[in-house]
Amino acid sequence: MKNSMTRLLCGAAVLAAFAAGFIIPMQNANAVNAAVSVTGNLNIPLVVSSTTPIAFGTIIMIPAGDTVTVNASTGAITGLAATTFAGTASNGTIVLAGQGNASVSFTDPATIDVAVTGGSYHIQNFVVNGGDTQSLSAGGALTVKVGADLAYDASISSGGVISSTATFTVAYN
């Protein structure tokens, strides 16, 4: 019986030591600090102005219809071999001012359909020279050239003045 009592007391002492060493500190745990980084960008607003329109000049229409392109890079106008051009064609220009070295994205306009006698013509496939994602200079400036296609089909029976507005959306990335 004495051995059993000794064993019981020893077991209780071990249990008490275990509780004192492990359970009690868990109830009195030390506080720790957690550092969380805070990041972000503050950009000044973009200022956008279109300084030069996309100009197709004068197109002498051919009966078969054509798609005429103003090249975004060079401003050159091209179409089928039978198409004749007069006047001055030019690519458009968009000038941006904003946060230095910031990346911006251009969203090109959708097709613009313009009704004329006998059908319609379509201003489409807008292109930003240099791509739809570009960066402003260290000083916060960017000038891009833009071009597009003008498509007309054989059903158009009369000419007219080409006049419309294409809206490019520009945003910081």
Half-sphere exposure of 58 (CA within 13 A, CB side): 3
**pLDDT score at 156:** 79
pTM to 2 decimal places: 0.74
**pLDDT score at 157:** 72
Give the integer Cα–Cα distance in Å for 60 and 84.
5
Q: Residue ranges of the domains in the chain?
A: 47-172
| Parts of the chain with a pLDDT under 50 | 5, 8-10, 14-15
Give the integer Cα–Cα distance in Å for 150 and 162.
10
Q: Sign of dihedral through CA atoms 26, 28, 30, 33? A: positive
Q: Which two tokens stand for residue 65?
A: 């219809």
- For the domain made up of 47-172, the CATH class stated in words is mainly beta
**pLDDT score at 9:** 47
**pLDDT score at 42:** 86
Query: What's the distance, Cα to Cα, between the start and end of the chain in Å?
Result: 82
Radius of gyration in angstroms for the set of CA atoms belonging to the chain, rounded to a whole number: 36
**pLDDT score at 8:** 47
Question: What does the DSSP 8-state code read for residue 130?
Answer: T
